Amino acid sequence: RFLMIITLLRSPAKSFRPFAYMPQSSRMQMSSESLALFDGKTCLTVEEAIAAHGSVKFLDGSWYLKGRNGRKEFEDGPRIKGANYFDIDDIASTGDDINPKNLPHMMPPPKLFAAAMDAMGITNNDRVVVYGNKECFFTHRAWFQIRGMGHKKLHLMEGDLGEWIDLNGPIEYGEKTPIAAKDLDLSHETQYCSTGPENVVDMAQIMKITKEGDSSDSIIVDVRSKERFLGQVEEPRPNMRLGHMPGAKNLPFTDLLDPDNLTKFKSAEEMKKVIREAGIDIDSSKKLVASCGSGATACTLVLALDLCGRDPGSTFVYDGSWIEWGGDDSTPIVKEG
C-alpha cells in the first residue's frame, strides 16, 4: 500500500484528465438557447468548444502536406471524445470520370458528401465543429469543404487538440476507424441533403479572369509564400512550373495567422491591415478568388475574410490551384526574379 501511495503522489498532475473518463450522461448538454449564442460565429475558442461538447458534432479535419498523416493520427488517438475524421482527400472528387487530372482534395459530389455525413451520424440540423490535431494549421480546407457543400451550422475551433487536452476537454483513446468513401453505398437515398459545391471556380474561369485583366469582375489572390509566388524557389510538388497567374496579388496565408500559434488567427484588425498592405480591398464589390498550392491553404484566406466581415458569398477558391495551373503547359505564367 505504501508503494502504491508513493506512485500516485509522484504521478504528473497532467496525466489526470477527469473528462476523458466521464460518462456521456454525467455531462450537462448546452441548451438550444445557449448554442444559439454561437450563431454567426465562424470560430470558437477551445473553451467554448469544450463547453459545447455533448451538444455538437466534432470532426477532425487534420491534413498535412508532408511528414504527418492526419488520418493515421486520428485512428491511433487520442482524439476528442465522440469525434469523427473528415478526410479531405477521400470525401472528394476522385476517379478518371470526374477528376481526370487526379488533383488532390477536390470538392466532392453532393451524393458522396451526403452519404459521408449520414455515415458519421450528422444531420443538416447538427452543429459541427472542425478541429485539428496538435500543431495542425491546415484544418481550414475541411471547414471550407463542409461549408461549401451546404452545411450551415459550422465552426472552426481555434487552437488544437493539445490545448483541448491541457484544458481537460473530453478525450478518448484506442483505435477508431474513420469512414471511407469506398465503403459508402451511393445507391441509397440519403437522409442528409447536400447542396454545392459552392464558391469554387475552375481553370476555365481563372483563364477568363487573367485574360480580362483589370476589367474582370474578379481578383485572384495567391496565398503561397512570396518566394513561390515570384518563382524564386522550387514548388514542393514535382513537375510544377514556377511563378504565378497574370494579375494575381500575393498574400502569404501565414501572414494571417498568429506567429506564436499558427492554429489561431491574428485579430481582425491585424488581419485587415495585412490584407490592405497586400493591395486587397476587403469591401471590394469584385469577387475575391483565393488560390494556393492545391486548394488547401487558400481556405485560410476565405476564413480570414469571413472573420473580417466580408460577405462569404463573394469569396471563392480556385479548387485546382497551382497544382493544376502550374502543371499545365497551356496556361500563362508570370515569373519574376
| Pairwise CA distance, residues 136 & 300, whole Å | 13
DSSP state at residue 28: P
Those residues with Cβ within 8 angstroms of residue 61's Cβ, 6 or more apart along the chain or in another chain: 70, 86, 88, 130, 131, 132, 139, 141, 142, 143
DSSP state at residue 97: T
Q: Indicate if the alpha-carbon torsion angle 44, 46, 48, 52 is positive or negative.
A: positive
At 155, which amino acid appears? H
Q: Please give the positions annotated as active site.
A: 292
| Pairwise CA distance, residues 101 & 7, whole Å | 58
Residue 8 φ then ψ, to 5°: -65, -40
* Residues linked to residue 290 through DSSP beta bridges, in sequence order: 221, 317
Quick check: 290 and 221 in contact, CB under 8 A?
Answer: yes
Q: Indicate if the alpha-carbon torsion angle 240, 243, 138, 163 is positive or negative.
A: positive
Quick check: 293 and 236 in contact, CB under 8 A?
Answer: yes
SS3 label, residue 156? strand
Beta pairing, strands 128-131 & 257-258 = unpaired
| Pairwise CA distance, residues 165 & 271, whole Å | 28
b or e along 134-160 (b: 16 or more beta carbons within 10 Å of the residue's beta carbon)?
eebbbbbbbbbbbbbbbbebbbbbbbb
| Calculated CA dihedral for residues 317, 323, 324, 325, nearest 10 degrees | 90
